[in-house]
Amino acid sequence: MRIGELAGRAGVSVRSLRYYEEQGLLTSTRSPSGQRHYTEDEVERVRLIQCLYAAGLSSRTIAEVLPCVDSPSERNSDEAFERLLQERDRISRHIDELARARDALDLLIDVNRAHRAQLTPRRPRA
């Protein structure tokens, strides 16, 4: 199938597919005129790539875990598992940082509310 059909069936843009190829996440064959052609298997691969992106993984990390799919083995599975655990830890640390930032903003909002409550109310204009 051609790139437009794959994009439609996988629910992504043609631009995304080209990017996936640039990153080494997806491969195609080329016709003599240079058009990309994909197999039926690529629909599921693109969906998997989308799932991995939705999980917060970068294209570099996705490329590191895809050997588990492309060449299943105990070693590839173990390496992918370890990489996914590392990514989960990274995301957890980021969530903690965001929670601290939110708490700091809550404090600033409380200080601002207290300050505003002390201001003299302005008279409405006639």
CA distance 7 to 48: 14
The whole-number pLDDT of residue 119 equals 87
| Confidence bin at 62 (pLDDT 50/70/90) | very high
The CA distance from 14 to 5, in Å, is 9
pLDDT at 122 over 70: no
- pTM score, whole prediction: 0.79
Q: How confident is the model over 77-81, as a mean pLDDT?
A: 96
What's the pLDDT tens digit per position in 18-58?
Answer: 999 999 999 999 999 989 999 999 999 999 999 999 999 99
In angstroms, what CA-CA distances link 16 with 20, 49, 95? 6, 10, 27
